A and B are shown apart, each in its own frame.
Chain A
Amino acid sequence: MSDAPDETTTWPELAIGLYDRLTGRNAEITYEFEDMEVDVPSTTGEDPEYAYWRIDGTLTVKAREKE
C-alpha cells in the first residue's frame, strides 16, 4: 500500500488541504500578486461566462485562536 498523497480532485479538498498546511504548522502564508490576470467563471457548470479580474498587491493569511 502506498503512502503517496492522492491528487486533489475537488475544491473543498483543495481548501482543507491548504488550511491544514497553514494551521498545522502555525504558519503564515503571504501571496504577492503582480498584475495577476484571472478569468473567473460564473458557474462550475457547462458554458460559464467569464469575468476578467486583475489583482495587484499583498495578501497574508495566518491562523489565530478562536475568541
Chain B
Amino acid sequence: MTTTPTGEHGDPLETLAELLDELEDRPELSVEADLELYLDGHRASVVGYDDLVALDLPSVPAAISLWHNRPVAVMDAAALLSSVGLTAEVRVRGVPLARIGADAVPSGLARRLGLGPVELVPEGAVLALTRRRG
C-alpha cells in the first residue's frame, strides 16, 4: 500500500501522538459490524451500531484472558477511539462490563485497579458472574 506523507512538514507520521494531531477536527467515523470471531481460543462476536462497537464474549474468564493478551495498550486504544468518535463496549453474554473511547466515563475504580481510562459497569460484572449460561 502507498500513501502521500501527511505529517508536519510532509514527514511520515511515526507516533500515535502525531496521528491524533492529524485526526483533530476531522469527521468522525460510523461503524456497522456483524462479525463472528475466534480470539485465541475464545469465541466472540462484534456488533457495530454507528458510534458504538460491542465485543461480546462467552465468559468473564475469557474477557480477563483477552484483556491480558490485548495487542494494543488501553490508553492508546481509548485515545484513538475518542479521536474518531467511537466507543467500544465489552460484554459477557450480552451484559455490558466495560467501555472505552468517546462516550466512556472512566471510573475511579478502574484507575485505582490500574486498568487505565476504562468505564467499568460494576453491576454488569456481578450479573455476568452470576448469570447462568442460556
Which residues of A does B touch, CB under 8 Å? 5-10, 12-17, 19-20, 22-23, 33, 40-42, 51-67
Q: Which residues of A contact B71 (CB under 8 A)?
A: 40-42, 51
- Would you call B32 an interface residue if the criterion is a C-beta within 8 Å of the partner chain's C-beta atoms? yes
| Chain B: minimal CB distance from A35 (Å) | 9
Q: Which residues of B contact A57 (CB under 8 A)?
A: 33-36, 46
Interface residues of B, count at CB 8 A: 40
Residue from A12, A23, A41, A63 within 8 A of B16 (CB atoms): A12
Are B5 and A6 closer than 8 Å at their CB atoms? yes
Classify the secondary structure of B's interface with A.
mixed
How many inter-chain contacts with C-beta < 8 Å in the A-B complex?
A: 121
Residue from B1, B7, B31 within 8 A of A14 (CB atoms): B1
Cβ proximity bits B12-25 to A, threshold 8 Å, 1 near / 0 not? 11111011001100
Whether A54 touches B35, Cβ cut-off 8 Å, given contacts A12-B16, A12-B19, A67-B85, is no
Q: Which residues of A contact B51 (CB under 8 A)?
A: 64
Are B34 and A12 closer than 8 Å at their CB atoms? no
Are B28 and A13 closer than 8 Å at their CB atoms? no
In the bound complex, CA of A8 to CA of B48 (Å): 28
Q: Which residues of B contact A55 (CB under 8 A)?
A: 35-38
Are B13 and A12 closer than 8 Å at their CB atoms? yes
Cβ proximity bits B61-89 to A, threshold 8 Å, 1 near / 0 not? 00000000101000000000000110000
